[in-house]
Amino acid sequence: MTASGVIDRAGLDELIAALRNGGYTTIGPTIREGAIVYNEISGTSDLPVGWTDQQAPGGYRLEHLGDGRMFGYVVGPQSWKRFLYPQRNVIWSGVVTADGWETVTPPEPPTYAFIGVRGCELAAIAVQDRVFLAAGDRAADPSYAARREGAFIVAVNCADPGANCFCTSMGTGPVAGPGHDLVLTETVTDDGVVLLAESGSARGDALLASLAAMRPAEIADRERAAETMAAAQATVPHSMDTTDIHDLLLGNLEHPHWEAVAARCLGCANCTMVCPTCFCGTVTDELELDGGGARRVRSWDSCFTLEFSYIHGGSIRQAGSARYRQWLTHKLASWFDQFGTSGCVGCGRCITWCPVGIDLTAEVAAIRASDLRPAVPVAADGTEVNL
Ligand code: SF4
Ligand code: SF4
């Protein structure tokens, strides 16, 4: 039986304090420079209480509603990969000693508690788990594994999906799926804002059991939460037809639409930086100017840069159309071949943060509308005919 109960803002403060007292570094949504970004928080006063976000292709704006809700917005430009797969990560360093070299042991990463993880973001973490954790004959990435192991996840069901969200098309939201320790559903009552808290793990059970400020969930609490999420599910505004998408994209590699997108694309790489699943990186070696040490650093890179595809003699993806095609076909097609899942979770970030408002759902629709694959002959009984 899943533990559950109802807390208010004071209860969430108690929950965050309990996590901090338990040794977790608590990370959650905050407002910085006009956007909702993830940073360390020590209580609900750090959350964007009463704020919401307005999103459009190439557009993002915060708006103050003053409604007291703590999670009345969706996802901003950052994702949790900022903490699990940092933008710059020293993977080895050493110092010169009298005897040669000595490797410097890196500090242990913090044990994170993530507060406010949306359904699409839970799915994105699961996608990166497939990339970075051990599976089959693939070894784990030790840096990612150390950060991921032990991370406590407090998910939040999205009551107000954003204008660019298409989680329902990708099966990732707005109700958070598995992979969390707790999930919160925020609703507004005559008595103020309350959160239905439901556990998803033994750790979540134990945390809820420790909260003095929690009261048992009544039928009315559950009905209100269910109605809120049913309404949210029905109002996810954006969508993408994913039927046959793997074969559709890989069967249209020479489609002229790639050139049409490239005519608008600036090659800025914003879409890959904000994407919660993109994982491409580059490795550089840095030497101390005084010759006393060196380090090897891994940092985010992007398939939109010319250098990313540089091999002997030059870059293999010279044209913008080739780079956009690489990104989209990897995300929505060859990712399935590599990792058995889509590389897109429908969060909409790449649409919002593209400076020219390129919308991958529209690009897929355009290719679908003029599919150039040869038609497969079909027999009278509907089966495909092998010629
Ligand atoms: S491709 Fe775009 S919509 Fe899909 S997960 Fe990445 S940022 Fe989100
Ligand atoms: S964010 Fe937009 S303009 Fe920039 S590389 Fe991506 S698709 Fe092109």
Q: Would the CB of 304 count as within 6 Å of ligand 2?
A: yes
pLDDT for the residue 103: 96
Is any atom of ligand 2 closer than 6 Å to the C-beta of 328? Answer: no
Q: Are 268 and 355 in contact (CB under 8 A)?
A: yes
- Provide the pLDDT for residue 378: 66
Say if 378 falls within a structural domain: no
In this prediction, residue 386 has a pLDDT band, given cuts at 50, 70 and 90, of low
Q: Tens digits of per-residue pLDDT, 122-132?
A: 999 999 999 99
Tell how far the Cα of 385 is from the centroid of ligand 1, in angstroms: 37
- Within-domain flag for 12: yes
Closest by CA position to 42, among listed 27, 64, 52, 54 = 27
Neighbours of 4 (CB within 10 A): 20
Number of domains in the chain: 1
- Please choose, from the candidates 106, 81, 102, the residue with its C-alpha nearest in 3D space to the C-alpha of residue 91: 106
pLDDT number for residue 385: 66
Residue 281 maps to a domain: no
What pLDDT is attached to residue 2? 75
Q: What is the pLDDT of residue 134?
A: 87
Residue found by looking up tokens 């990166």 in the block: 128
Is the per-residue pLDDT at 387 higher than 90?
no
Residue 312, pLDDT score: 87
Which are the contacts of 39, defined by CB distance < 8 A and separation ≥ 6? 27, 28, 30, 32, 46
229: left (phi > 0), else alpha (psi -120 to 50), else beta? alpha
Return all residues near 22 (Cβ < 8 A) that are at least 6 apart.
none
- The arithmetic mean of pLDDT across residues 102-126, rounded, is 96
Q: Which two tokens stand for residue 5?
A: 């109960």
* Structure-model confidence comparison of residues 17 and 385, the more confident one: 17
pLDDT tens digits, 184-241: 999 999 989 999 999 999 999 999 999 999 999 999 999 999 999 999 999 998 999 9
Q: How far apart are the first and last CA of the chain?
A: 56
Position 306 in a domain: no
Give percent of the chain with pLDDT exceeding 90. 91
User: Does 1 score more than 60 pLDDT?
Assistant: no
Tell me, yes or no, whether 252 lies in a domain.
Answer: no
Per-residue pLDDT at 372 = 94
| Separation of alpha carbons 276 and 281, rounded Å | 14
**CA–centroid distance, residue 85 to ligand 2 (Å):** 22
Nearest atom in ligand 2 to the alpha carbon of residue 269 is 5
> What would the mean pLDDT of 113-121 be, rounded to a whole number?
98
Q: What are phi and psi of 262, to 5 degrees?
A: -60, -30
Write out the two tokens for 32.
Answer: 């910085």
59-75 per-position pLDDT tens digit: 999 999 999 999 999 99
Of 364, 332, 330, nearest in space to 238 by CA: 364
Which residue range is the domain that position 45 belongs to?
A: 4-235
At 254-271, the pLDDT tens digits run 999 999 999 999 999 999
261 belongs to a structural domain: no
Read off the pLDDT band of 350 (50, 70, 90): very high
Look-up: residue for tokens 């000693």?
A: 97
Entry pTM: 0.94
CA of 354 to the centre of ligand 2 (A): 5
Which atom of ligand 1 is closest in space to residue 346's alpha carbon?
3
Ligand 2: nearest atom to the Cα of 264: 3
Q: Is residue 292 part of a domain?
A: no
Sheet of strand 152-156: strand arrangement: 4-7, 192-199, 182-189, 152-156, 112-117, 25-32, 35-40
Identify the residue whose C-alpha is closest to ligand 1 atom 4. Answer: 344
Identify the residue whose tokens are 């969430």.
Answer: 12
CA dihedral 344, 347, 348, 350 (to 10 degrees): -60
Substitution candidate for ligand 1 out of 121, 125, 345, 354 with most atoms within 8 A of CB: 345
In a domain, 194, yes or no: yes
Q: How is 124-144 classified by DSSP, letter by letter?
A: HHHHHHHHHS-BTTBPP-HHH
